[in-house]
C-alpha cells in the first residue's frame, strides 16, 4: 500500500512500505475516510478527530475550504498514480477514471452554458412593441 504525505502544499513524499512503521508512530490529529460503492454510487464519509485543539480546527477548516474549492483533486490524482505504480490494469483504471472526470466536467460546462443562454432573450420587447416610438 502506498501513502502520500503532504506538507503545507509544498512537499509531497511517497512513504515506502519499509518506512511505514515510522509513519504509524506519528499520530495524526484525525482522519477522514470516503468509502464508495460502484454498484449504486452511494458513498459514506467517516470522520474521526482525536485532537480537538484550536490548531486542529484551523487546519481542518483550511482542508475543508480547499476541498470545497476543488483544489484537492490533484492530490487524489497523485495518490492514484502512486497506487497504480507500474501495474497496467491499475494504470488503465486511472485513465478511464480521469477521462470520465473530464467528461463530467464538460457536461457541467455545457449545462452552465445552456442555463446562461436561457436567460438571454431572442428578441427584446422594445423591438416588438417599439416602446421608444410610442413615447415620442
**pLDDT over 90 percentage in the chain:** 45
- From the CA atom positions of the chain, what is the Rg in Å? 24
Q: In the predicted model, what is the mean pLDDT of residues 15-24?
A: 65
What's the confidence (pLDDT) of residue 74? 87
What's the confidence (pLDDT) of residue 10? 47
Pairing of strands 30-36, 11-15: unpaired
What's the grid cell of residue 66?
A: 480547499
Q: Same domain, yes or no, for 91 and 80?
A: no
Domain range holding 118?
A: 86-136
What's the confidence (pLDDT) of residue 89? 97
CA 91 to chain centre: 20
Query: Count of alpha carbons within 13 Å of 123, Cβ hemisphere only?
Result: 6
Given a cut of 80, whether residue 46 has pLDDT beyond it is yes
Split into its structural domains, the chain has a count of 2
Q: Same domain, yes or no, for 9 and 72?
A: yes
Q: Same domain, yes or no, for 54 and 98?
A: no
SS3 110: helix
What's the confidence (pLDDT) of residue 107? 84
CA-closest candidate to residue 97, choices 85, 109, 105? 105
Q: Same domain, yes or no, for 65 and 96?
A: no
Q: Output the CA angle 52-3-21, nearest 5 degrees.
A: 80
Given a cut of 50, whether residue 136 has pLDDT beyond it is no
Given a cut of 50, whether residue 9 has pLDDT beyond it is no
Amino acid at each position: 500500500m502506498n501513502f502520500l504525505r503532504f506538507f503545507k502544499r509544498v512537499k509531497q513524499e511517497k512513504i515506502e512500505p519499509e518506512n511505514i512503521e515510522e509513519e504509524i508512530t506519528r499520530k495524526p490529529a484525525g482522519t477522514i475516510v470516503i468509502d464508495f460503492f460502484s454498484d449504486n454510487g452511494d458513498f459514506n464519509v467517516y470522520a474521526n478527530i482525536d485532537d480537538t485543539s484550536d490548531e486542529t480546527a484551523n487546519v481542518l477548516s483550511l482542508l475543508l475550504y480547499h476541498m470545497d474549492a476543488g483544489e484537492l483533486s490533484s492530490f487524489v490524482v497523485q495518490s492514484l498514480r502512486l497506487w497504480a505504480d507500474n501495474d497496467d490494469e491499475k494504470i488503465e483504471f486511472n485513465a478511464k477514471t480521469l477521462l470520465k472526470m473530464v467528461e463530467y466536467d464538460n457536461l457541467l460546462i455545457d449545462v452552465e452554458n445552456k442555463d446562461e443562454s436561457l436567460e438571454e432573450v431572442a428578441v427584446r420587447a422594445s423591438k416588438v412593441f417599439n416602446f421608444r416610438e410610442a413615447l415620442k
